[in-house]
Structure 1
Amino acid sequence: MLSLTEKEVDFIATQLLKGMVCFYQIDKKKIHFMPDDEDYFNYDLTPDEEDILDEIDAEPDNFAEFTKMEVPQEHQIMQDFIDRRVKERNLAEDLVNALTKPKSMTAFKFLIDESKYQEDWAEYRKSKYQDWVKEQVDSFNYAEN
């Protein structure tokens, strides 16, 4: 059964927010991370990263993979943040409007970064990503049974 410390959960959540994909090596209790190939399709793997991927291919049951949220999940987090934390009606309306546009995440981030909610959003999003990592641990453990 896979279990992570709060420090490991925090580290994985931070890496996912940076656009990485993480692999937890169960026997060595070690976290490996590399750019998510969906975000960095021109990225050349380092020899160490290639070695890790070879190890994963050879022994997939020894690794738990952690991935970032899908776009609809990210949108839900943004909507929840607006509903629960943003008190200024005009800003809330602008943020909701941003979510309906192409490149909605960029538009949302631009508006948040120009507001007093920048730090609150960063903390909120990180806590939701920590929950997401824990959900992935639960899914991994459920699949193992």
Structure 2
Amino acid sequence: MNLTEKQIAEIAEWLDCGMTCYFHRPTGEIEWHPSQEDHMFDPEPWEELIEKIENDWGNYERFEKLDSREGFEVMENFAHFISDLKFRERILDRLSNRKPFQNFKILIDSSAYRQDWFDFKKEAYIQYVKRIIEERE
């Protein structure tokens, strides 16, 4: 499976948005739709695309977003990436309490590290997509 860096970044971006992505090997086209596991998923607007993929399933590679355990690990890794020890401890404290994802987001969104988090998470998703590609080759 030969994907360009641009295609890998595109898949990573869609996964970060909660989408399920499909790479069509013969054409290099990337398709995506909301995760069908999401309780809010409405299949009606996506029926044509889902049918297209199902009818040519053997030519598609499927990519799914990080599961909650992997997402938690990315947040933990980000905490250890931060050089500000006081803020690092605040992140780790939030991650060790109830509702870690929500509390992490609240803390990061109101901090000077917001853009650092977005950049870190983007790179984590790119590495995740690359790891999937390597495992499938």
TM-score by length of 2: 0.90
Paired residue for 2:57, among 52, 56, 60? 60
**Which residue in 1 is equivalent to 2:6?**
7
What is the count of residue pairs matched by the alignment?
Answer: 137
- 1:45, 1:34 → 2: CA distance? 11
C-alpha contact (below 8 Å) 1:98/1:107 kept by paired residues = yes
**Which residue in 1 is equivalent to 2:112?**
116
- The question of 1:84 aligning with 2:81 is answered yes
Q: How many percent of aligned residue pairs carry the same amino acid? A: 27
C-alpha contact (below 8 Å) 1:64/1:140 kept by paired residues = no
Paired residue for 2:48, among 48, 51, 68? 51
Q: Which runs of 4+ in 1 moved over 4 A?
A: none
- 2:70, 2:12 → 1: CA distance? 15
RMSD: 1.6
- The question of 1:131 aligning with 2:127 is answered yes
- Structure 2, unpaired ranges of 5+: none
C-alpha contact (below 8 Å) 2:82/2:88 kept by paired residues = no
* CA pair 40-14 structure 1, distance change in 2 beyond 3 A: farther
Letter in 2 for 1:106: Q
- 1:20, 1:103 → 2: CA distance? 22
C-alpha contact (below 8 Å) 2:14/2:20 kept by paired residues = yes
- 1:92, 1:54 → 2: CA distance? 46
